[in-house]
Amino acid sequence: MQKPGYWQEASDTLSERDPVMAGLIARYPGFELKTNPDPFSTLSRAIVSQQISTRAADTVWQRLLQAVQPYNPQTLLRQPEPSIRAAGLSGRKVLYLQDLARHFHEGRIDPSQWEHKSDAALIAELSAVHGIGRWTAEMFLIFHLARPDIMPLDDLGLVRAIELHYHSGQKLSRQDLLSLTQNWTPWRTVATWYLWRSLDPTPIQY
């Protein structure tokens, strides 16, 4: 696991700009985003986590790692579907993981090119995989590539935290959310992480 090098600068800048964010940052000293160096497992875990609780996702993920050893595209493609489903995955998520594995195995996803691509281009590339939409791609940009300015407004927990801390818990339109979060550019990933922490002090990992 590697910590993004921009974290301290980002935290200092956000604290200077935004007193609410300054309070959140001060509440969790010593905590930082930790990235996963393996792109296939990061994307796989994001797929596993779709539409289920963090605790349930952790349980299913550990069972999947036990069923597919070592966890890589080639091994997963050789694994019988029933043994993958036995980890607690739906048939649809098994198909998503298999399609992801084929993209890696066949070279349709090429990690060597990612450094030179924009966030938008990477989201478009990853969304070509069945089961990967914008939210999953954004989780990947945060937890594998550590891109500094990701604001995943399709994440219900993040939206709930923004409304709680900035609008007395009242609903905000997407346009209002976009306007509010512009103040955190170019460090919206860091703001997102602290807002997540305000709801769950256990750091999320993918």
Q: Per-residue confidence at 1, pLDDT binned at 50, 70, 90?
A: very low
Does domain 7-34+150-199 correspond to CATH entry 1.10.1670.40? yes
Give the contacts of 126 (CB within 8 A, at least 6 positions apart).
43, 109, 132, 136, 137, 140
CA distances (Å), 196 to each of 64, 91, 105, 202, in order? 25, 29, 34, 9
Q: Per-residue confidence at 137, pLDDT binned at 50, 70, 90?
A: very high
Q: Let me know: does 48 contact 157? Beta carbons within 8 Å.
A: no
What integer is the mean pLDDT of 135-145? 91
Q: Per-residue confidence at 21, pLDDT binned at 50, 70, 90?
A: very high
pLDDT in tens, 73-129: 999 999 999 999 999 999 999 999 999 999 999 999 888 889 889 999 999 999 989
- Quickly list H helices, the chain: 7-17, 19-27, 39-48, 54-67, 73-78, 81-85, 91-105, 119-126, 134-143, 156-166, 174-181, 188-199
What integer is the mean pLDDT of 136-148? 92
Q: How high is the pLDDT of residue 75?
A: 97
Chain center to CA of 133:
12
The segment(s) of the chain belonging to CATH 1.10.1670.40 are 7-34+150-199
Q: DSSP 3-state assignment of 66?
A: helix
Q: How high is the pLDDT of residue 3?
A: 62
CA 95 – CA 82 distance, rounded (Å): 12
200 has a pLDDT exceeding 90: no
Q: How high is the pLDDT of residue 5?
A: 87
Q: Which fold has domain 39-143?
A: Endonuclease III; domain 1 (1.10.340)
**Side-chain-side CA neighbours of residue 76 (13 Å):** 24
pLDDT in tens, 150-189: 999 999 999 999 999 999 999 999 999 999 999 999 999 9
Chain center to CA of 116:
20
- The single-letter DSSP state of residue 184 is G
What integer is the mean pLDDT of 56-76? 96
The segment(s) of the chain belonging to CATH 1.10.340.30 are 39-143
What integer is the mean pLDDT of 49-56? 86
- Mean pLDDT value across the chain: 92
